[in-house]
Structure 1
């Protein structure tokens, strides 16, 4: 009898950024980070253990992937095989409701969903904190997608893998939302991993970035405790700009921005100057995310439509943590 695990995970957008690893093999970050899980973007993944398979098979959005892509997934699943003392191979079916590699955190939801499905398929019953350390080994930001709401990824200590995991800080049920301005949904030319390493290795601003990120996290957690949306937004915008400034200091300089990224940033500032609090953040890609109050989202959207098309604007409420899917919910 085949064992099957099916899981949904939502993407997250970092408000306090993670940029740089102190251990590339274990995906241990240089600084702790904090994110907001979004319900508009998610990945559904099925892991079917099959003793008849001689190798793992990986299908993304219904298309069988090549050996190189499958090898990445197999290496990740080896963590679960080792824990389960199992050698059985799996068929992996993943449906990504996020544009892949466009700076919209598709890897976060992808590996969180894969971790959740593998946990069920191998019947390991790992708790969420432990599962977040496994998910981290596929993609650093995926450790945060195990949980919903506002989530902290603690950097941990030294090279101790188990010490670096995610914690749910707050359910973010106090009128928080996000609008994504999709400038370019295509795969970016420079991957986050390459850009991250180049920044760490060559940017003279990098040590300052790490110090500032730690300060920002302390201030952010205090703002969350007070449910101070204005302060939350100000820190979010400042922290994101610091990260991109640090990238510009790399050799050669790194910029994921496009002309319409600048256009979006200026438009959000215009809306804010006209009395509606909203704040921008950007990850490793040209797309701009707008942190706002959910109750004011429609007003902001109307203003953004003056500069961007309807299909470029995606509204999202706060997302939940990973969820096991039933046969009925798995409708692919």
Structure 2
């Protein structure tokens, strides 16, 4: 029996300059470049096992076998690696998300980055990390950035061949993030649906793309200078501009919930009290607070007057994908 198997871990990332819209929906090429911070606390572990005797791909998520629609997505993703390697075996994929799925906390980013890393290892493919990020992109755009740790740019590129991730900075300075998990349930409008609708109908969209490109240049300069305050200010403004495009869509929609607004006010109150804190919000209700790592404990305590402790999660920057030497989950999943 011939088996090619590997295990990989990848961390989620939170975009500080948002990815919001595709110029090429088939190949998942964005309308503009984006920049993110990889997070240590949230990650996905994935095992891929290419087996000669399998007659179809199998996909297990958190120990539960997934239905055909989800399995077909994984099969299409695996096909890219099968085509490159010349190995045509079907595969069993087992993933464990240590992050709520479809809640706006980038679970798809860590999931597809982990699967891409496992496929490269199992099939012994000669791909650099940036080249691998092109493959991760085909599963989920944000997965491009989860190949690397720290601050990462997803360069828009001019074609599917050069739209890829580039590491910017290891973020090994006084950087942290406090996540306010307003709602860990699946969102009603997926990121994919939301960005397509916004691109097609929002009169603000074209200006948002133009401004986002300027934001990217400015935040990269601020990161190089380790100017935390400017990084935070740019990230906060960029996030709110993205959400403004959804409010201007036709029909309009929002990912905000009542507690999202409470979290925004809490950050503003903390800033007025002297904390150097800034919020960012992706396609979901949860709020992420960029802050100095040295202030995280105090910020958690201060947020306790607004939210239950189980909704407040602190994290440091995360690293790049990691090949695991053993699989600690149930292999019979």
- With normalisation by structure 1, the TM-score equals 0.98
Deviation at 1:330, TM superposition (A): 3.3
1:245 and 2:244 equivalent?
yes
Structure 1 residue aligned with 2:288? 289
Structure 2 residue aligned with 1:229? 228
1:147 and 2:148 equivalent?
yes
Partner Cα distance (1:315, 1:198) in 2: 33
Runs of 4+ in 1 over 3 A off after TM superposition: 329-332
Structure 1 residue aligned with 2:126? 125
Describe how 1:215-226 pairs up with structure 2 within 5 A: 215-226=214-225
Deviation at 1:125, TM superposition (A): 2.9
Structure 2 residue aligned with 1:305? 304
Deviation at 1:142, TM superposition (A): 0.3
Structure 1 residue aligned with 2:40? 39
Deviations 1:189-244 (A, max 9, x none): 10000000000000000000000000000110110111000000000100000000
Partner Cα distance (2:10, 2:253) in 1: 30
Deviation at 1:259, TM superposition (A): 0.4
1:274 and 2:282 equivalent?
no
What stretches of structure 2 of length at least 5 have no aligned partner? none
Deviations 1:46-101 (A, max 9, x none): 00011110000000000001111100000000000000112110000000111000
1:207 and 2:196 equivalent?
no
- With normalisation by structure 2, the TM-score equals 0.98
SS at match of 2:161: helix
SS at match of 1:31: coil
Partner Cα distance (2:47, 2:124) in 1: 14
Partner Cα distance (1:251, 1:101) in 2: 24
Structure 2 residue aligned with 1:330? 328
Structure 1 residue aligned with 2:196? 197
Structure 1 residue aligned with 2:72? 71
Partner Cα distance (1:219, 1:151) in 2: 14
Deviation at 1:126, TM superposition (A): 1.4
SS at match of 2:266: helix
Structure 1 residue aligned with 2:316? 317
Deviation at 1:3, TM superposition (A): 1.2
Partner Cα distance (1:174, 1:269) in 2: 24
Partner Cα distance (1:125, 1:252) in 2: 46
Deviation at 1:179, TM superposition (A): 0.5
Deviations 1:84-126 (A, max 9, x none): 1121100000001110000000000000000001111111131
Structure 2 residue aligned with 1:14? 15
Structure 2 residue aligned with 1:83? 84
What stretches of structure 1 of length at least 5 have no aligned partner? none
The count of aligned residue pairs is 329
Structure 1 residue aligned with 2:108? 107
Deviation at 1:331, TM superposition (A): 4.2
Partner Cα distance (1:273, 1:287) in 2: 22
Deviation at 1:174, TM superposition (A): 1.2
Partner Cα distance (1:49, 1:91) in 2: 6
RMSD across aligned positions (CA): 0.8
Deviations 1:233-281 (A, max 9, x none): 0001000000000111101112000000000000011001110100000
